[in-house]
Amino acid sequence: MLRILALYALSVCFIHASMAVNVTFRVDLNSQITKGAFNPQSEFIDLAGNFNSWGQKSNRLSDADGDGIWEVMLTGLESGEVLEFKFRINGAWNGREEFPGAGNNRYYSVPLQHATVDFEYNVQKSQGNLPSGIYQTADPSEVEWWNDAVFYEIFVRSFYDSDGDGIGDFNGIVQKLDYLNDGDPTTDTDLGITGIWLMPIHPSPSYHGYDVTDYRGINPDYGTMADFENFLEEAHKRGIRVIIDYVMNHASTQHPWFQSASANQSSTKRNWFRWSTFDPGYNGPWGQQVWHGTGNQYYYGVFWSGMPDLNYAQPEVRTEMFDIAEYWLKDIGVDGFRLDAVKFIYENGSQLEDVNQTFDFFGDFRTFYKGVKSDAFSVGEAWTNTDKVVPYVENDRLDFCFEFDLANAILNGVNNSNTNSLIFQVDKTYNAYPYLQWGTFLTNHDQNRLMDVLGGDISKSKLAASLYLTLPGVPFIYYGEEVGMLGTKPDEDIRLPMQWTTGEDAGFTTGVPWRGVNSNYATYNVETMQADSASMWSRYRDLIEIRRKSEPLRRGEYEWVLSSPANVYSFIRYWNGDTVLVMANLSTQASDSVTIFRPGNKMAPAQVYDYLSGDSTTLRILSNGQRKAPSIEPRGVRIYRFQDLKVSNDRPLVNSLTLYPNPTEGQVTLKLPDGISQEVNYKWFDLTGRLLKQGSQMPASTQLRLTAPTDSSGIFLLDVEVGEKRYTQKVWVK
């Protein structure tokens, strides 16, 4: 598969350290040329950045020897200078990072000596009736198997008790596997889950299991290793992949390693943890105590005194934890790992998170586990903002991470009937990571339950589910979310027993449950909701089935579409000629007349099929170029598949116009192709589709200066029209 290398590999030449440095940028286009996705006879790649006014001065790449490796050298750079840059195709901006994987721009610090920056091209152009422009991928080999999956997070203790001891177990999960996926795609009594994430399954002194005492063992509360292997086999029979929680950052104070280390300073395990003869005096990232006293010594544990951090500066620790990963992948047969607390693997003094050694560690860990099992994957929990999560995924580190900012944006958008922050965060997420490599979710085992966050409103819960199961990313459902389980902290109360029936203890156990069930189980349970085609459970089942049938929803590109009224959030997903339009009314009011407008493209009048209702309808084109859609009920959703005409192309200017600088402080220059003598019309829109400013100019030359619509900072859409041709660009005003 193609992958962004972003190696920044230094090819050192024999040049003495100097302030004047040359840097060569190379892009391997062989694969795309072979596929016909790039024509070296008629197309070109250029480099735009802060060193050439974002493309105002041309730095084209060339392939002098015809080997498919295109390159350009920047000369006379200063050592230590930070380059901010993008590659472009045919000198055009299209509002998207053209090499996905490292945010909107890339950065490179000029070294003391000549260096190369190597990339492998991961961009395919659209084909068929899709809009013209540059897209990240149109090849199934570019998307991983987990992009086709929908995962279900299970706390084993609370899922289903098979033996009446009040504690869920592996045999209980086996008995409920047909609820998750019975292996028969023609039935409608199962959810259609194709991936399971098990919270910690190892021996532990706590109920939650995140303080592990034996990484190769099985928690006896949940059964035996034979029970686990039977569960794994039964899951695989149904096409369900299984990943387990791997708690690499810390162990338990009751782990034999720590017991030996704390009892004897000459122990071989002593340096497997961090020790001090005094309290260093600094606190953790959220103000917590991180140095914990025992006798006349202190040990480091970022989360709690019962969970001392492992010391990865000790090579033996790293070797052992890698070996444990191999054991579970190779000997037992799991499909991958959910990695807990990935931000805290290494520390530099009082810098306790996001240190460079941690990033390097996960690059090495990925190389290792891919060598053990090539299709294994790891998803990381880096609970922070998007910008800080991306480094854990880019440059071939973790396969993907959970997107907490996106989850918050969905919940805030649904709660507040506001599309603006949701539009912004989806766009930011989509452009920040390697193509589709992030985990989408609503809440998890560390957060208040979805129904509590949304005030117990089922319509909000259905809407939120409809969004994250149709947006790009890899979706994860927290057990019980599909039946509206309640739960607010403490943590035990957001991990309560699953609600199966209206019977005693919600059908979870025949004994006394380890913790009492929710008060709402008589109404919110699997048995009741499966019998109601309008229930939340049915919505989840339908959405998962729609996703299974729709390649665009699993693998496709994403593009936000302007809607009116503004509280209708619309976007399209497209893949190899198949297009899906999603329209979600975030308002409490019905939207009787919904129009959608795609600047720079016309979405042809088309017969569409509504996946949710099963009805067919037509999107009518209006005189102003907008498309009129049927009404949408309060918090309603339409998921339309285009049955005949797809999205038509009317952006032939996209490869002949250049807009810079972007970001801008207020003015942009639009460079027109030679020979344009027609009047240029332009419109500025905000992200809600509101027209802010419009005008027209006769170009005096091939360059046109335009001023941003307001003094406020933000992201705006600039729509340019020359005759019948149009060009659209997102502009960031700083």
Just list the catalytic residues.
340, 381
User: The tokens of 98 are what?
Assistant: 């053209």
User: The tokens of 508 are what?
Assistant: 């979870």
My answer on whether omega of the bond before 552 falls inside 30° of 0, hence cis, is no
d(CA 561, CA 426): 12
What is the SS3 string spanning 219-254? CCCCCCHHHHHHHHHHHHHCCCEEEEEECCCECCCC
Q: Give the end-to-end CA distance of the chain in Å, rounded to a whole number.
A: 37
Check: CB of residue 662 under 8 Å from CB of residue 729. yes
CB crowding 434-447: b at 16 or more within 10 Å, else e: bbbbbbbbbbbbeb
The two beta strands, 115-120 and 20-28, are: parallel
How would DSSP label each residue in 645-668?
--BPP--GGGGT-EEE-SSBSSEE
Hey, CA dihedral for 375, 380, 385, 391, is it positive or negative? negative
Closest C-alpha to 142, from 467, 578, 557: 557
User: The tokens of 407 are what?
Assistant: 């989850």
My answer on whether omega of the bond before 490 falls inside 30° of 0, hence cis, is yes
Check: CB of residue 200 under 8 Å from CB of residue 252. no
d(CA 268, CA 311): 13
d(CA 171, CA 229): 10
């009736």: which residue's tokens? 129
Please list, in sequence order, all residues whose beta carbon lies within 8 angstroms of the beta carbon of residue 664, skipping any fewer than 6 positions away: 708, 731, 732, 733, 734
d(CA 144, CA 375): 9
Residue count (the chain)? 734
21: number of CA atoms within 13 Å, CB side? 26
- The H or E element spanning position 175 is helix 170-175
d(CA 52, CA 451): 51
Check: CB of residue 563 under 8 Å from CB of residue 583. yes
d(CA 506, CA 29): 58
For residue 721, the SS3 value is: strand
d(CA 193, CA 677): 58
- What DSSP state is assigned to residue 456? T
- The H or E element spanning position 326 is helix 315-326
414: number of CA atoms within 13 Å, CB side? 28
Check: CB of residue 401 under 8 Å from CB of residue 343. no
For residue 414, the SS3 value is: helix
Check: CB of residue 552 under 8 Å from CB of residue 546. no
Alpha carbon separation from 643 to 211, 606, 610, 611, 632 (Å, rounded): 53, 7, 10, 12, 20
User: The tokens of 548 are what?
Assistant: 């299974």
d(CA 656, CA 91): 8
Check: CB of residue 154 under 8 Å from CB of residue 201. no
- What's the alpha-carbon Rg for the chain, to the nearest Å? 27
